[in-house]
A and B are shown apart, each in its own frame.
Chain A
């Protein structure tokens, strides 16, 4: 069974708009990571936020973490058609990733 929930399950936006995905998890964490997966491919690491951090930026990505609510969000700014993929959060707690169910993002050109 999935250890995390992601919201929304699917998101469709126009190129240039921002995309926000939310994730809730159940376990305590060392860190939380976001991954991207194109159809039929492996997972690509996007960004990692440690449990003692609240916000992190990397290029067009911004991730927040609220450990009191066991939730995280990923913001992709100025989206591009190439951002179309599934996005997963992964809560890491000693030697194990707990993945959410994923958000399927479609960016229309």
Chain B
């Protein structure tokens, strides 16, 4: 497609449930970010991939968070044993450039609500 696609658009999870959030980047895009945006706040960095390599995962808040991009295209962000503080919008962005910060397109996000 023309843009970055994220699914599901909305997810309600019971506390303790595992969730998987999907990001389909623009075809051929090398770089991919995941960001977490709490209500009324700016996005906060979670992790960065270049192709299939996860070059930076310093923003993942706990070992319950795991991200992968096994074939260098689609990426999945998995959250195990969800907690209420995980409620946020999870944004994915991709770029055809390598490092440099140029040409990023963001998806519309997945809004996760943990009840």
Tell me the A residues contacting B by CB distance below 8 Å. 1-2, 4, 6, 30-31, 33, 35, 40-45, 48, 88, 92, 94-102
- B1-60 residues with Cβ-Cβ distance < 8 A to A are 4, 31, 33, 35, 41-45, 48, 50, 55-56
Q: Is the CB of B43 within 8 A of A95?
A: no
Other A-B pairs, 13, CB within 8 Å; known A30-B100, A43-B106, A101-B41: A2-B44, A31-B100, A31-B101, A33-B101, A41-B109, A42-B106, A42-B108, A95-B48, A95-B50, A98-B45, A99-B35, A100-B42, A101-B42
Q: Which residues of B contact A44 (CB under 8 A)?
A: 106
* Number of residues of chain B lying within 8 A (CB) of chain A: 26
Q: Is the CB of A96 within 8 A of B43?
A: no
Q: Is the CB of B91 within 8 A of A43?
A: yes
Q: List 17 A-B contacts (CB under 8 A).
A: A2-B41, A2-B42, A4-B42, A30-B101, A31-B102, A40-B111, A41-B108, A41-B109, A42-B108, A43-B91, A43-B106, A45-B106, A48-B101, A94-B99, A96-B48, A99-B42, A101-B42
Q: Of B48, B105, B111, which is within 8 A of A45 by CB? A: B105
